[in-house]
Each structure stands twice: as C-alpha cells, then as structure tokens.
Amino acid sequence: MNMIQSMTGYGKATVPFGEKKIHVEIKSLNSKAMDLSVRIAPLYREKEMEIRNLISQSLERGKVDFSLWVEKEATEAATPINAALMNNYYEQFKAINETTQIPLPSDLFATLLRMPDVLTKVDVQELADEEWAVVRKGIEEAIAQLVDFRKQEGQALAKKFNEKIDNIEALMKAIEPYESERVTKIRERITDALEKTISVDYDKNRLEQELIYYIEKLDINEEKQRLANHLNYFRETMNNGHGQGKKLGFIAQEMGREINTTGSKSNHAEMQNIVVRMKDELEQIKEQVLNVM
C-alpha cells in the first residue's frame, strides 16, 4: 500500500576515492516548503546547483541540512613549503648582500619562511569526472537512506492516526445513548416547571411544537454524519501515499468544526465530557499532521 511519509529523516554515506574518504550527511525536519541549506567542501562547490536539484527532486519539501566533506590523510594536511620559491628569495638576498653590503638577517631561515607565497598552498585542484561520479553516487545513497527513514516514520504516523481516528469514531458512538435520554429529560424539565412551579394550564399541542423546535436546534445527526465522512476521507487520503500532509491538515480542521458544533449543542454533562475527549484526540492528530509530507 502507498503510505504517507514523514518529513523527518536522516541519511549518510561514505565513499572512498584515492587517498580520500568523502562523507555525505543529510537531515530533514518539517517545513511548509523546501528549505535547504548546504555545506560543501571547496572542490565540489562547482556542483552545488546539481546537488540542490538532486535533493529537491527527491525530497520535495522539508527543512533540509546537507553536508559534504572530505577526510584527508594526515600527510596531506600539512601545507607544503615551496622550496623553489624559497631558494629564489635566498639567491636574491645573497645578490643584494654582495652589491650593497647590507648584512644578511641573523635568522635567515625564519625570514625566508615569512616571504610571500613560500607557505601558500597551491591548491588548484580540478574535479575529475570519475571523482564526481563516485561522489554523486554517495549523495544518491544518502538521499535514498533518508527517504527510507521517512517511509518508516510515515508508517509509525499512520498507525498513530488510525488509532486516533478509531478513538474519535468510538466516542461518537458513545454519545448516542445520551441523545435520546436528553430529549426525555428536556420534556420532563419543562412540564415539571409548568405544572409544579408555575401551576398553570398549558396547551399540550403548543408545548409539543415548542419542544420539537427546541430539540431540532439541539439535534446533532448532521454533525455526526459529516464527522463520519471526514474520518473516512482522512483514512482514504492517508492511503493515497506521500505528499498528502497539507490535505490531511485541512481535513483535520473540518473534523474540528463538527466536534465544536457538537460541543455547543450538547447541553448534557456526559456528552460534553465525550466531546472534550474527542477534542483531545483531534489535537494529537493536528500536532502530528505537521510532520507529514
């Protein structure tokens, strides 16, 4: 079955290339749109647009953090001394010393190391196609892991939603016995008031009409029917797969409307207690819907 996905996910991959280990890590949380931030090692920055497109196409939306970095060998970490340049400076120093008699510095080695570019790393690396192919595979692997993670989280969310929907359905049924009881109680209260308290003769037909009007105003059959429809629609939408998060949010709002109207029509303590429990279940759905893709 095509199930909903969560927006929360994590994926990582490590790919070797020559002496290097290239690490890819990607995390996602919920967000209304695609909110992507990337940290990319300098050598691969020219591929940033391609990386962004890969992520956006696969993940659609969410607050996504992407990192791509290189773990280098210790030998590679040291900045090489440019010996040829240093020798060139030394020859110039000697020539100046011979023609002008200005003495050479006492610590010549330290002076030479401070000369421009002697310790500048010559790092004009080109990104080879073979290396990019390896790195791209690593990125795709990390994205695939994250999608799997989202699917698993989605299954957990679906299970939770089904429980909550079942609970609301059961609570809706639990209201029914109090509805008929309520009609009898209203009738008793009004006739008692008329006979005992005010001691008046009253037109029984007129009272019957008033009661029907009053009870119709409190009738919640339509609300119950609409709520049942929304609950079914929520289930169907969930089974339509990912990309349904916003729609599920709208359906949950509609469910809230029917539950609130039921609450305002429930002039019965036990019915109101049930409505409060329904609201609590719905609140948990609304909270979790924000995490759905």
Q: What is the pLDDT of residues 161-190, one digit of tens each?
A: 999 999 999 999 999 888 877 777 777 877
Structure tokens at 214: 């009053």
Q: pTM for the whole thing? A: 0.74
Structure tokens at 239: 């089974």
* CA-based torsion, 265, 268, 274, 277: positive or negative: positive
Indicate the SS3 state at residue 70: strand
- Position 133 pLDDT exceeds 60: yes
104-113, 201-210, 248-257: range with highest mean pLDDT:
248-257
Which residue, 261, 32, 13, 269, is CA-closest to 144?
13
C-alpha 71: how far from chain center: 30
Tens-place pLDDT, residues 268-286 = 889 999 999 999 999 999 9
Dihedral, CA atoms, 173, 179, 181, 185, nearest 10 degrees?
Answer: 160
Q: Which fold has domain 9-75+130-150?
A: Ribosomal Protein S5; domain 2 (3.30.230)
CA–CA distance, 64 with 158 (Å, rounded to integer): 23
pLDDT for 122: 57
Is the Cβ–Cβ distance between 26 and 12 less than 8 Å? yes
Is the Cβ–Cβ distance between 248 and 290 less than 8 Å? no
Is the Cβ–Cβ distance between 47 and 127 less than 8 Å? yes
Residues near 278 by Cβ (< 8 Å), separated by ≥ 6? 168, 171, 172, 259, 262
Delimiting residues of CATH 3.30.230 domain(s) in the chain = 9-75+130-150
- The DSSP code for 13 is E
- Position 22 pLDDT exceeds 80: yes
